[in-house]
Amino acid sequence: MRRTRCFLLLIYFIVGFLTAILCMLFFRISNFLFSTMSQSATRKPVIVVGSGLAGLSAAHEALRAGAAVHMLDRAPKPGGNSIKASSGINGAGTRFQRAQGIAGDDSFFADTVRSAGRRFTETGSPLVDRKALVEILTSQSENAVNWLADELNVDLSVVAQLGGHSIARTHRGGGKLPPGAAIVSALVEELKANSEFTLENSSEVDELLTDGSGAVRGVRYHNFDNSDGPAHELEGPVVFAAGGFAGDAHGLLSKYRPDLAGMPSTNEARPASHGLLSAIGAAFVDMDSVQIHPTGFVDPKDPGSAYKFLAAEALRGEGGILLSSKGERFINELNTRDVVSDAIMALPHSTVGSTRQWEITLLLDPGACEVAASHIGFYVWKGLVQKKKVRDLAPEVISAVDKYAAIVSKHEEDALGRKTFGHWRLPPGEANRDEEVCVGIVTPVVHFTMGGVAFDTQARVLRLEDGNELAPIPGLWAAGEITGGIHGANRLGGSSLLECAVFGRIAGIQAAKSVMTV
């Protein structure tokens, strides 16, 4: 009897002990789960201002790092200028280059520095670390192309050589979709499938909110669809990716480059958002470095329009040539944009309505027309390019075509210094008269702003502090055309999409880290 009682007591003791342990475990697990759930419910989102490639890249990485993302864009649809990109994205050392017979590519950094010109060695204030920024841009370029091709399934298999590049490294797809649209739509689709992602279009950010110490703590914005409604406030770290000011003719352009008044632009008219950054003391660099792209189409239906459709640089890369109004070649078409545009602008111009423009013929032989078929099809449909038999061209143009065709076919040295001829295959002389070439009229256009907000290799926005030192503004990152310092006085074609992808991703990761560690 006593033994049975002892035995029962022992059983009660063991059961009680095990129950206590189970209860403790249960409370610990549920506590852990509860605190994790409530943490993620209360954790602030990464706020991304702008839904171009820089913003989309930032959002992608912030989500991957485990943060929620709230993206705001004042436009009714996502994509910004990025969706219009027509020539492609640069990458050095990619498998797509190798497939095209380019075994190695170690000149991207040097090409970028050469193109940046005097700005690269400038010692003025504020001093951003240009070398470090260009090193990141160029060394991460293969990775950026692989990211888009492998993770987002964007076709980037066609590689062309643009102006100022010593090798073909600008990637686009082989299909009908231009590279900007292909990249943006792939990213938007991927982001929208993530429940932690919120996109609000028609929502303009009016102010960056700061705390007492000057750190950014969120944004104030309003929604155009509800313009009478109250302003909204959103708390969280901010990635500012609001693009450049090439469409802000009466604002920043007239402030920094009044000499460009009356020039047409490839950017739709829109006010810049740089003022939101200056309001909190951010520093700016190179604001007077504005890129004039040599070839915007003059639309025969609306020749004086201040907005021009871009004639992609890839058209020249694939073999196109430029002819003056006298029907003569006058410049190596694959020189850097600043050099080509300056050469055009040294020729006589006309004023159509209130637009200052030039009349240059862009001509592609059948080889170049074929490789650029998807671009050409679209331009023909828009009425910007015509297909013509050589015999129907003006006599001086036929003569220039023959002269150039002789240089290409006989491997002679081009007096203007052009070294690569793309896919040009038209022979000189009578043999070419029934061949069809593609022609359009082009003019230099305001296209891109190299200047912008000072930032560092971690994509942190910088401000000048005591002693003229640049220091990061806590809570604020930036990427894309809003930033300055990478391209100096002249950007290489294809390097803007690249900077958006490279620095957008860095900004997204860094901003996410700041909320994940809270």
| 440, 297 contact by CB (below 8 A) | yes
| Tokens 């310092």 found at | 485
Contacts (CB under 6 A) with ligand SIN, residues 470-509: 493-494, 496
* Nearest CB to ligand SIN, comparing residues 246 and 287: 246
Collapsing DSSP states into helix, strand and coil, what is residue 429?
coil
Of residues 313, 318, 338, 435, which one binds ligand SIN by CB under 6 A? 313
Is residue 97 a contact point for ligand SIN (CB under 6 A)?
Answer: no
Return the structure tokens found at 410.
């006989």
Of residues 46, 48, 53, 154, which one binds ligand FAD by CB under 6 A? 53
Residue 243 binding target from ligand FAD, ligand SIN, none, CB below 5 to 8 Å by type: ligand FAD
Q: Determine the Cα–Cα distance for residues 180 and 378; give it in Å rounded to an integer.
A: 15
Categorise residue 80: left if φ over 0, alpha if ψ from -120 to 50, beta otherwise.
left
* Nearest CB to ligand SIN, comparing residues 104 and 175: 175
* Nearest CB to ligand FAD, comparing residues 137 and 344: 137
Contacts (CB under 6 A) with ligand SIN, residues 322-361: none
Annotate each residue in 60-99 with x if it binds ligand FAD (CB under 6 A) or - if it does not, as one string: ------------xxxx----xxx-xxxxxx----------
Please state the closest distance from residue 234 (CB atom) to ligand SIN, in A.
32
Of residues 497, 506, 511, 512, which one binds ligand FAD by CB under 6 A? 497
Q: Which range touches ligand SIN (CB under 6 A), out of 4-12, 276-284, 299-307, 312-320?
A: 312-320
Please state the closest distance from residue 309 (CB atom) to ligand FAD, in A.
7
* Residue 271: how many other CB atoms lie within 10 Å: 15
Return the structure tokens found at 103.
């075994």
φ, ψ for residue 474, nearest 5 deg:
-60, 140
Annotate each residue in 420-449 with x if it binds ligand SIN (CB under 6 A) or - if it does not, as one string: ----------------------------x-
Q: Which range touches ligand SIN (CB under 6 A), out of 4-12, 95-103, 270-278, 306-314?
A: 306-314
Is residue 310 a contact point for ligand FAD (CB under 6 A)?
Answer: yes
Contacts with 273 (C-beta within 8 Å, 6 or more apart), sequence order: 49, 205, 242, 243, 482
> Catalytic residues, which ones?
293, 316
* Residue 282: how many other CB atoms lie within 10 Å: 24
Residue 369 binding target from ligand FAD, ligand SIN, none, CB below 5 to 8 Å by type: none
* Residue 205: how many other CB atoms lie within 10 Å: 23
Of residues 292, 310, 401, 446, which one binds ligand SIN by CB under 6 A? 310
Please state the closest distance from residue 85 (CB atom) to ligand FAD, in A.
3
Return the structure tokens found at 166.
């010593």
Is residue 312 a contact point for ligand SIN (CB under 6 A)?
Answer: yes
Of residues 62, 322, 461, 500, which one binds ligand FAD by CB under 6 A? 500
Q: Determine the Cα–Cα distance for residues 471 and 124; give it in Å rounded to an integer.
A: 17
Is residue 488 a contact point for ligand FAD (CB under 6 A)?
Answer: no
φ, ψ for residue 423, nearest 5 deg:
-105, 20
Please state the closest distance from residue 183 (CB atom) to ligand FAD, in A.
9
Contacts with 422 (C-beta within 8 Å, 6 or more apart), sequence order: 160, 161, 316, 317, 318, 319, 320, 367, 368, 371
> Between the CA atoms of 274, 275, 276 and 277, what dihedral angle is there, to the nearest 10 degrees?
60
Is residue 164 a contact point for ligand FAD (CB under 6 A)?
Answer: no
Instruction: List beta partners, residue 89.
Output: 171
Please state the closest distance from residue 298 (CB atom) to ligand FAD, in A.
15
Q: Which range touches ligand SIN (CB under 6 A), out of 41-49, 143-151, 309-317, 477-485?
A: 309-317
Residue 92 binding target from ligand FAD, ligand SIN, none, CB below 5 to 8 Å by type: none
* Nearest CB to ligand SIN, comparing residues 94 and 210: 94
For residue 493, give the nearest of 383, 386, 339, 368 by alpha carbon: 339
Is residue 448 a contact point for ligand FAD (CB under 6 A)?
Answer: yes
Please state the closest distance from residue 337 (CB atom) to ligand SIN, in A.
8
Contacts with 209 (C-beta within 8 Å, 6 or more apart), sequence order: 216, 217, 218, 219, 220, 233, 235
Contacts (CB under 6 A) with ligand FAD, residues 236-275: 241-243, 266-267, 273
Contacts with 171 (C-beta within 8 Å, 6 or more apart), sequence order: 88, 89, 90, 91, 94, 96, 145, 156, 157, 158, 159, 179, 494
Q: Determine the Cα–Cα distance for residues 149 and 143; give it in Å rounded to an integer.
A: 10
What are the residue ranges of helices labelled H in 122-263?
130-139, 141-146, 179-192, 252-256
Q: Determine the Cα–Cα distance for residues 180 and 266; give it in Å rounded to an integer.
A: 14
Residue 55 binding target from ligand FAD, ligand SIN, none, CB below 5 to 8 Å by type: ligand FAD
Return the structure tokens found at 86.
């027509």
Q: Determine the Cα–Cα distance for residues 195 and 201; give it in Å rounded to an integer.
A: 17
Please state the closest distance from residue 416 (CB atom) to ligand SIN, in A.
20
Residue 515 binding target from ligand FAD, ligand SIN, none, CB below 5 to 8 Å by type: none
Of residues 58, 205, 249, 437, which one binds ligand FAD by CB under 6 A? 205
* Residue 268: how many other CB atoms lie within 10 Å: 11
Please state the closest distance from residue 223 (CB atom) to ligand FAD, in A.
11
| Tokens 């001509």 found at | 363
First to last CA, the chain: 61
Interface with ligand FAD (CB under 6 A): 49-55, 72-75, 80-82, 84-89, 179-180, 204-205, 241-243, 266-267, 273, 310, 448, 480-482, 494-497, 500
Interface with ligand SIN (CB under 6 A): 86-87, 310, 312-314, 448, 493-494, 496
